[in-house]
Amino acid sequence: MKKIVLVDGNSIAYRAFFALPLLNNQKGEYTNAVYGFTTMLLKVLEMENPTHMLVAFDAGKETFRHQTYAAYKGTRQKTPSELSGQIPLIHDVLKAFSIPRYEAKSYEADDIIGTVARRAAKEDYKVVVVTGDKDLLQLVDQNIEVVLTKKGMSEVDRYDEAAIHERYGLTPTQIIDLKGLMGDSSDNIPGVPGVGEKTALKLLAQFEDVETVLASIDQVSGKKLKERLTENQEQARLSKKLATIFTDMPLEETLDAFTYTGYDEEQVRAVFRELSFHSLLERIGQGEAPEESSDFAPLPYEVVKKPEEKHFASPSALVVEMFAEHELQGDLIGMGVANENGRFFFPVDVALSSPLFQDFITSATVEKWLFSAKQSIVALEKRGLSLQGVTFDLQMASYLLDPSVSAEEVGDVAHRKEMKVVRSDEAVYGKGAKRHIPDEDELSEHVCRKASALYELKPLLANELAENKQDELFYELEMPLSLVLAKMECTGIKVDIAQLKAMGKDLSARIAVLEREIHAEAGVSFNINSPKQMGTILFETLALPPVKKTKTGYSTSADVLEKLRDAHPIIELILHYRQLVKLHSTYIEGLLKVVDATTHKVHTRFNQALTQTGRLSSADPNLQNIPIRLEEGRKIRKAFIASKPGWKIVAADYSQIELRVLAHICGDENMKRAFLEDMDIHTKTAMDVFGVSEQDVTSAMRRTAKAVNFGIVYGISDYGLSQNLGISRKEAKDFIDRYLVSYPKVKEYMEDVVTKARKKGYVETLLARRRYLPELNSRNFNQRSFAERTALNTPIQGTAADIIKMSMVQMDKRLQTSPLAATLLLQVHDELIFEVAKDDVASLKALVLEVMEHALPLDVPLKVDVSSGDSWYDAK
């Protein structure tokens, strides 16, 4: 049986555009409509398995309908440019799928579809029309079905004659009469004024079609309706005519011209790659994976047995290949170098035993370009080699150019630049249980391809940094910082294992007691760590009132439990249990797992190219979330001690750095004055928001004010604030409004920054760190609101990150040239942790204050609190 699928191109594109958020591909072109269109296409191909296929588009503006009725589609808004720009991309997709498209001057897509549908039906084809436009339902007959997309694009409704009758009580041809009576505002078809869908359906149920209705006006019930029908007879006839799809347009092609025999996977994959449709690439199957080396042009390289001068030209791209997730644990498995003389692979033993190679690594004057320099520095340091002369880090460059695209390996950057020369690590090494080191041929080629890509990509990204005016950020801040972080990671921080174990023992005992008590209260034994089981116990067995649901069941989160505190004694016990279990599993057991057994140190890894705001992150272990708020947890900090006898821990933290940055950026006089006079900012905010004097600020007011300040800094919404304070959203909004009245320039800044960001596409910090916010133009309220809050928040949080990073670089420099016996150990967003010889504590404190408070001069002073003690806990 022959089956033809007819797609209403414009309608589907239009629907997709409004159903999906504005996506873009790597080139910054919008692709949401293309994406939606393509997923629809794939679905249709899969479901219908057609022998013939055609996608129809509207051509030009004028159609024969305009000659009948000049105002046809007169009220329709101009197609947004974000959509019209995508139409050619949709054409590209169709071309790749080898699907014919059709457009004809002065006819609409509807007419093309109508004409082809009727002709095919006559020849006994099965016809399926795919559209978002209900008008096309009029085409349905025994051989013709219409598939209508629903709002979200993920679902469709399928109409045959029976389905139309069920939905409207009409035959397909009566759909035209329906339009004639009720009109269609989107096409500016008038219909009969005062007649909507309800009335029109009633009339048609009684009188069949428009002509019969008009001929029987006297039988119509309702005086007003009679009048309207009488007055608008001609308009009803015209409307019906306009709504009638033309099924007899001249068409030279025979149906054979629309034969569809399937698509060429390679072509489709190529266009998907072009459009960055990664999920769709996976969906159509891997086929010949794009990154298989057979796809690439051959790349000459040499496996070096005897290193020579020519292998080490300056500059060189250097790849220190490791087989590990973490730089501190894994084995080196090879070295790759690319430079003007070619590409070279060095087996590890060749490299490490060669004085020439060692000189290359340690020479500060031989320029080296790397991907994630810190990782290589740490790995080589562990083998006693001090990597010097690193002038470019490709990963860092990629991150600064656009922090939202994660580049985990050279191949990711190469791929973005359409440079198809390097395979992904996963393709070479495999993943999970199958991960392995390949034979030397494959390994050496992979490493050389990485080095080669690195060598070629460096100038491209260096250029982009310069164009963005991000050179200084890159060369003066992030590059030097990566060396400081490498040092910090290698140094590590000493942990008192005995102390941790003692705390663990105590916790285990108390957890066991709580566990028994909870089971006793519940009346049954269950796994308290399972939210699912706990939900059943609390809200079914004990029949407590459920407060909130998650998508898998009842929520048992702390804020829910807080609300149930008085309802049952078990709640208190559970909250306490959760607190202790968290401490035990994450902070005692978790930490003990990663402590070096011989040095008793933990070596966190700072990720310098990850967060969207410019902050660092810390992992294995994460030392940026060690408890502090509750005393119970804070005691964990007692286990972090200086690594040498007689040394102390010094902690220096910026006080209110984000709000100070905000005061500087927006220039609000009231806020600036608060900092210039060194007031307690939360009290000051409470005074302003509540309109009271300093002595009348209650602790509740201060708490509220603090939450509002917190909200400003983290860019939370009125809803978020209401959750934080346990108040209504209206009250929260009220607080924010009063806040903005007190600090008018903050309000101005909020509006300004969003407008500017919408225009430029990104926001930036004082040091030109960028974050792109394409969602500012989203029609999805949530996405747009989120982007707006981000636009306001990122320059604040990002600038604060810039400042503390500058402090770190400067502190490192000062410590190198000073006689102080002190080392920088950690950074926790607004805080630096050092260890220092006892006698140097005072001098270090003075130096830290001087450096941190003047790291970047603002219109308000930066304030730093410093303290010291035997442990991190005591430095408070």
Partner DNA sequence: CCCTACACGC
Partner DNA sequence: GACGTACGTGTAGGGA
Would you tell me which residues interact with DNA (CB under 7 A)? 432-433, 527, 529-533, 535, 550-553, 555-558, 561, 575, 578-579, 582, 585-586, 589-590, 593, 607, 610-613, 617-622, 624-630, 633-634, 714-717, 719-720, 723, 781-782, 785-786, 789-790, 793, 828-831
**Min CB(273)–DNA separation in Å:** 22
Which is nearer to DNA, 198 or 629 (by Cβ)? 629
Which is nearer to DNA, 499 or 622 (by Cβ)? 622
**Min CB(876)–DNA separation in Å:** 10
Three-state SS letters, 442-498? HHHHHHHHHHHHHHHHHHHHHHHHHHCCCHHHHHHHHHHHHHHHHHHHHHCEEECHH
Q: What is the distance between the alpha carbons of residues 172 and 677, in angstroms, rounded to a whole number?
A: 77
**Min CB(574)–DNA separation in Å:** 8
**Min CB(497)–DNA separation in Å:** 16
Assign 872 to helix, strand or coil.
Answer: coil
Which is nearer to DNA, 42 or 628 (by Cβ)? 628
**Min CB(579)–DNA separation in Å:** 4
Name the DSSP class of 132. S
Angle between helices 497-522 and 569-582 (to 10 degrees): 160
Question: What single-letter amino acid sits at 381?
Answer: E
Which is nearer to DNA, 41 or 528 (by Cβ)? 528
Which is nearer to DNA, 224 or 629 (by Cβ)? 629
Assign 617 to helix, strand or coil.
Answer: strand
Which is nearer to DNA, 296 or 714 (by Cβ)? 714
Which is nearer to DNA, 233 or 611 (by Cβ)? 611
**Min CB(580)–DNA separation in Å:** 9
**Min CB(784)–DNA separation in Å:** 9
Which is nearer to DNA, 337 or 754 (by Cβ)? 754
How far, in Å, are 489, 646, 649, 652, 746 from residue 827 at the CA level? 11, 23, 13, 10, 29
Which is nearer to DNA, 450 or 603 (by Cβ)? 603
CB of 210 closer than 8 Å to CB of 237: yes
Which is nearer to DNA, 216 or 617 (by Cβ)? 617
CB of 108 closer than 8 Å to CB of 57: no
Which is nearer to DNA, 622 or 643 (by Cβ)? 622
- List CB contacts of 327: < 8 A, sequence separation 6 or more: 374, 375, 376, 378, 379, 489, 605
Which is nearer to DNA, 549 or 813 (by Cβ)? 549
**Min CB(557)–DNA separation in Å:** 4
Assign 320 to helix, strand or coil.
Answer: strand
Order of strands, sheet of 647-655, starting from the edge strand that comes earlier in the sequence: 822-827, 831-837, 647-655, 863-869
**Min CB(715)–DNA separation in Å:** 5
Closest alpha carbon to 260 in 35, 45, 87: 45
Name the DSSP class of 583. I
Name the DSSP class of 586. I
CB of 639 closer than 8 Å to CB of 590: no
Q: What is the distance between the alpha carbons of residues 47 and 3, in angstroms, rounded to a whole number?
A: 12
CA 256: distance to chain centroid? 46
Which is nearer to DNA, 386 or 527 (by Cβ)? 527
Phi/psi at 860 (5° precision): -120, 155
Query: Which burial class, exposed, middle or buried, applies to 540 when counting CB atoms under 10 A from its CB (0-12, 13-18, 19+)?
Result: exposed
**Min CB(691)–DNA separation in Å:** 28
Which is nearer to DNA, 205 or 610 (by Cβ)? 610
CB of 61 closer than 8 Å to CB of 14: no
CB of 224 closer than 8 Å to CB of 194: yes
**Min CB(585)–DNA separation in Å:** 3
Find residue 344's DSSP bridge partners.
302, 337
**Min CB(77)–DNA separation in Å:** 17
**Min CB(510)–DNA separation in Å:** 14
Q: What is the distance between the alpha carbons of residues 729 and 482, in angstroms, rounded to a whole number?
A: 43
Which is nearer to DNA, 194 or 590 (by Cβ)? 590
Assign 174 to helix, strand or coil.
Answer: helix
The full DSSP string for 770-792 is EEE-GGGG-SSHHHHHHHHHHHH
**Min CB(633)–DNA separation in Å:** 5
Assign 553 to helix, strand or coil.
Answer: strand
What tokens does 783 get? 């996405």
**Min CB(654)–DNA separation in Å:** 8
Question: What single-letter amino acid sits at 92?
Answer: D
How far, in Å, are 746, 761, 779 from residue 754 at the CA level? 12, 10, 15
